[in-house]
Amino acid sequence: MRGRRARPRLEDSHAIMTRCLRNAAAPALAAALTLCAAVFADGGAFPRGEVAEVTAASPEEMARLAASGLVVDNVAGLTARVYLLGNDRAALDALGCAYRILPPDAPDDKAVLNYRANPEIEAAFTQWAAAYPGLCATGSLGTSAQGRNLWYLRITANPAVEADKPAVKLLSTIHGNEPVGTELLLELAELLLEGYGTDPRLTALVDATDLWLVPLLNPDGMEARSRYNANSQDLNRVFPVYGANYTGTFFDSPLGDGDRQPEVAAVMRWSASRPFVLSANFHGGALVVNYPYDHQPGVPSGQPALSPDEDLLRVISLEYSSRNPDMYASTLFPQGITNGSAWYAATGTMQDWSYRFMGCLEVTVELGTTKWPNYTLLPSYWEANREAMLAYIETAHLGVRGLCLDRATGAPVLARVDVAGNSQPVFSSPHAGNYHRLLLPGTYSLSWEAPGYIPYHVDGITVAGGPATRRDVAISDGDLDGDGLVGAADIQLAVNAVLGDTVGVDADVDGRGLSATDIQAVINRSLAR
């Protein structure tokens, strides 16, 4: 860990109020009271609630707890923590579970000292963007409930140019009292930027990957040392829920960001702006990699909710856990990984929404059983996770990749990319036309579909265990003669091509070889105008 500028010691609100009233001269009293008000607004009145340690009488009772709508966390066998606000304690009482209220778990000032929050993140990102303009750029996804920026750092060679690279996002501290991931992402950024050009592995990773880091998703909560955002919401329980808020993907369903918490809405809009291939979000409270689904309608908590990419998600989760010795040796989670629902069901999580709605394979990395460890322990966290983070990012380069372009113009096309036999699509980028589908070794059939275009198919694509197989496609809107219309002339060209005539254009519009299906596809496009 590199040296850090010490942050001012955080005083409790009562001490500050006493000092303000005792020491402020009359002309400075107004300013002093303003300071005090700010402290109370950000900290004293911030939602904290209570934390209950629940001991369930049976797995069935634990499943009922997980399905209750209460904020459940840190499940270990028949025990769990439940975060309580408002009427939640009465709801917990109604369930009849045995529990005890834990002492406040907010860290003391000594533990918090030197953890970096929004001002330090902004300063670091600004400094790096100035020092490495050819490697990174910074900005804000939006603002929190209290108006703090949600800073990102984009790291890739020549970030000003949209390029054919897999996009990867790493995010942390969606729960404000779980800040270890914030520090690890800042360390990762520094490692990549300083190592570029001297370390071959790091250089190759930055050259070939479009990496986005968002180290602090809940800056309000972190400042107040609270799990929640300033609106008393657990941000990892309020993403759109499959089966309740949507059943399709962003390709065919409204984004639905309008009524979401500002931090969640910002992440949703950003995620929809480009086809992220791979994602990880970093938490604290356990030591495990948790992968989708966290929730599947009809599947009880404690039972696995299997996605179409169950085997793939297990493999990429192991890429992380196997390089963290303590995580991999877990006695609670074999090999340090778990299906989310098999652990405990949770609705409205970011990883389920990212995967299901956006087609981005995302996992949740729990970095340790202590949510907010003393800062002096952070070097050991970095040592345990450095190699795991790099290896995880590298998995974004497996599978099938390529460009999806307009056949006539060569312009990039936003397309849905499907794998035969797998119900979860991914999407190509409207910026560069690139797509990337993570897949295990095997032979696959893929299809590309976009509004206004004829669906295109390719069979027999072989995926090995190394770098992604490349398959570029150029899809047609059916306008074979280029006159801006799809009509009789285009149908005739397709007919002539199928009959063996030289027509001067590629009339295999569906990718299955010249046949009657191409004629029918052009006819269908002419009828759809």
Contact between residue 366 and residue 287 where contact means Cβ atoms under 8 Å apart = yes
Q: 529 Cβ partners below 8 Å, 6+ apart?
A: 485, 486
Q: How, if at all, do strands 286-291 and 337-339 pair?
A: parallel
Q: Helix axis angle, 200-208 relative to 378-394, nearest 10°?
A: 60
Place of tokens 């169950």: 310
Q: Which of 183, 187, 362, 366 is catalytic?
A: 366
DSSP 331: S
Cα(40)–Cα(150) distance, rounded to whole angstroms? Answer: 22
Run of H or E including 463: strand 456-463
Give the number of other Cβ atoms within 10 Å of residue 501's Cβ.
Answer: 11
Q: Is 366 a catalytic residue?
A: yes
Q: How, if at all, do strands 50-55 and 98-101 pair?
A: antiparallel
Contact between residue 213 and residue 168 where contact means Cβ atoms under 8 Å apart = no
Handedness of CA 268, 447, 449, 504 (dihedral sign): positive
Cα(239)–Cα(261) distance, rounded to whole angstroms? Answer: 9
Return the SS3 of 59.
helix
Burial level of 327, CB count in 10 A (0-12/13-18/19+)? buried
Residues annotated as part of the active site: 366
